[in-house]
Amino acid sequence: MPLMRGVGGAKWRPRENLHITLRFFGEVPEPVADDIDGELSQIADSTPPFEIALKGAGTFGGADPHALWLGVSDHAVLKKLAADCERAARRVGLKPEPHKFTPHVTVAYLSNAALDRVHAFTQRYALFETGVFRVERIGLYSSFVRQGAPSLYRLEAEYPLFGRG
């Protein structure tokens, strides 16, 4: 993405790593993963395809930002999906997610970034907005942290959105 530049100390995410996380499940044993798979299938079956756009920019970390993100416009369906995933996590015995869901795409992690450049980025892209795109499926991914390289994501299962429920 052309906007992913201009901030020293930013570790920009590769295009293939850009995503919206509905719920981070963490490392789980195989039987729990199977239960999560079943729960996500039911959620997808009852959720119709929908449209969203990326809109605006911001940071996580307050006065000492550690990440740059792009927001999501009109995200009521995403919030419902995230709440459904949270309820599913609880049903399979996982602890509650400690952070409030904020629909976003993390575009960079920051390490000793100059605050003026970080603020310039968020101001420059405050009115940023993509065209609308259709979401027709959600996925369950494994993530692998790699030393000195971006995380590696592997698609474990894909769930088409049908809206039957």
For the stretch 95-104, contacts whose Cβ atoms lie closer than 8 Å and that sit 24 or more positions apart, written own/partner, are: 97/23, 97/24, 101/22, 103/20, 103/71, 103/72, 103/75, 103/78, 103/79, 104/20, 104/58, 104/69, 104/70, 104/71, 104/72
**pLDDT attached to residue 50:** 95
Q: Indicate whether 1 pLDDT > 70.
A: no
How large is the average pLDDT for residues 108-115? 92
Beta bridge partners of 143: 153
The pTM assigned to this predicted structure is 0.90
Q: Indicate whether 150 pLDDT > 90.
A: no
Q: 146: pLDDT confidence band, cut at 50, 70 and 90? A: confident
**Angle 14-116-113 from CA coordinates, rounded to 5°:** 45
Under a CB-based contact definition with an 8 Å cutoff, are residues 2 and 105 in contact? no
Let me know if 99 is a catalytic residue.
no
Share of the chain above pLDDT 70, in %: 99
Q: What domains, with CATH codes, occur in the chain?
A: 12-52+73-108+127-160 (3.90.1140.10)
Distance of alpha carbon 54 from the chain centroid: 12
Look at 31-40, 119-128, 146-155 and tell me which has the smallest mean pLDDT.
146-155
Burial class of residue 57 (count of CB atoms within 10 Å of its CB; 0-12, 13-18, 19+) = buried
**pLDDT attached to residue 149:** 83
**What are the C-alpha distances in Å from 57 to residues 20, 60, 78, 127, 128?**
14, 10, 18, 8, 7
Let me know if 75 is a catalytic residue.
no
Under a CB-based contact definition with an 8 Å cutoff, are residues 56 and 125 in contact? yes
Could you give the 3-state DSSP secondary structure of residue 164?
Answer: coil
Q: Indicate whether 74 pLDDT > 80.
A: no
Active-site hit among 66, 75, 104, 119: 104
Look at 91-95, 120-124, 132-136, 142-146 and tell me which has the smallest mean pLDDT.
142-146
